[in-house]
Amino acid sequence: MKIYPYKRLNRPVVLRVTSVSLKLADGTRDQLETTAYSTQQQTVALGIAGHTDWVSARVGLSATLPPGANAPDAAWSDLKVLAVLTDGETNVRTSAPLTRDAEDGRDWSGFLEVFRDDHMGRASLAVYAVGTVDEVRGRSIAETDRSWIVDTVSDEPVRGLQLDVQKASFKKSAREWLQAYADAPWIVDTSTRVPTVFVNTDVEGVMGLLDSNGSGVDTKVRDLLVAQMATDVWTAVFHGAIGDLEVEPGGGPVFPTDWQGEVLREMLPDVIPGVHVEEALRQVHRRRTGESGWVELQTRIHYAAVRRADASKALAYAIRSLEQMNRESET
């Protein structure tokens, strides 16, 4: 939790997306259905309409400030509410002011314009209430505690980690760097916009096992294989995210706004339990860049990855299946 040298609201701003429309190349607008955004996932999917010629998207927003925002004795004045869209990949930041719905009310609304050429994938949408405190303008009074995701590519408003899975012959691949891993069944590449899992088709039986959809032992072994792959993926993307953090002038780490931020928010509660994710990020960053504590943290990181991969469930299913086969063979 951050410490502020001035009074603030203790609760977060609640943000809702109320509408989404696309401006097409011919100047017309396509009002998207509510399936283009998910309140539960807090995600907007601008690819859902299937347009390839959209120029910009207008996202309707509604924000509710915490109680006390309009208190007569509030420590701030000149209250304003801003929606801010941040893209960590293209370094574009877009802001739009919201308007109070009713005098002395806590509900604010407005629109944010998202320009397609400014983004390549996912951007993070947050709302800030700002005001003048102790004669200092633009101080943050409250903000959303969890940003929405605006995905300019996806056709499904899903917040979770997106992966690109590709099959490749590591020995013969045009990607020469894969040749060094010719005996590995798969490799995770976290240097791309979307983390990519390369599955090695040279390893005999791997593709057949992954593609199996029967109901026998093969399926249980496949589930174990997928769980192991998922564990490797979560471990790799965590290390990729924590190793590429921006640092504030004071030395504190900044939460990424793309898939890296999603991974960290998902895994940090298991890596450093019992604290807010921002504090957990600071602790992990200190251990990674400091003199001690990073090696000891690897067990927690692996545990977090195992949980995300549901490895225990896959193992339990496989064991039960084998026990059943053994009982049947004895009768």
Dist CA 167 CA 145 (whole Å) = 39
Dist CA 136 CA 263 (whole Å) = 35
What value does the mean pLDDT take over residues 207-212?
76
What value does the mean pLDDT take over residues 167-180?
92
Q: Is the pLDDT score of 265 beyond 70? A: yes
Q: How confident is the model at residue 215 (pLDDT cuts 50, 70, 90)?
A: low
What value does the mean pLDDT take over residues 78-105?
91
Q: Which amino acid is at 326?
A: N
Contact by Cβ (8 Å): 225, 238: no
DSSP bridge partners of 165 = 197
C-alpha angle with apex 238: 232 to 241, nearest 5 degrees?
135
Output the pTM of the full model. 0.61
Q: What tokens were used for 288?
A: 């990674």
More confident residue, 83 or 122: 83
pLDDT at 190: 86
Q: What is the pLDDT of residues 115-171, one digit of tens each?
A: 999 998 888 899 999 999 998 998 999 999 888 999 898 888 877 666 778 899 999
Contact by Cβ (8 Å): 207, 199: yes
CA torsion, points 132, 136, 137, 140, in degrees to nearest 10? Answer: -70
Dist CA 156 CA 186 (whole Å) = 27
pLDDT at 162: 67
Q: Is the pLDDT score of 25 beyond 80? A: yes
Q: Is the pLDDT score of 3 beyond 80? A: no
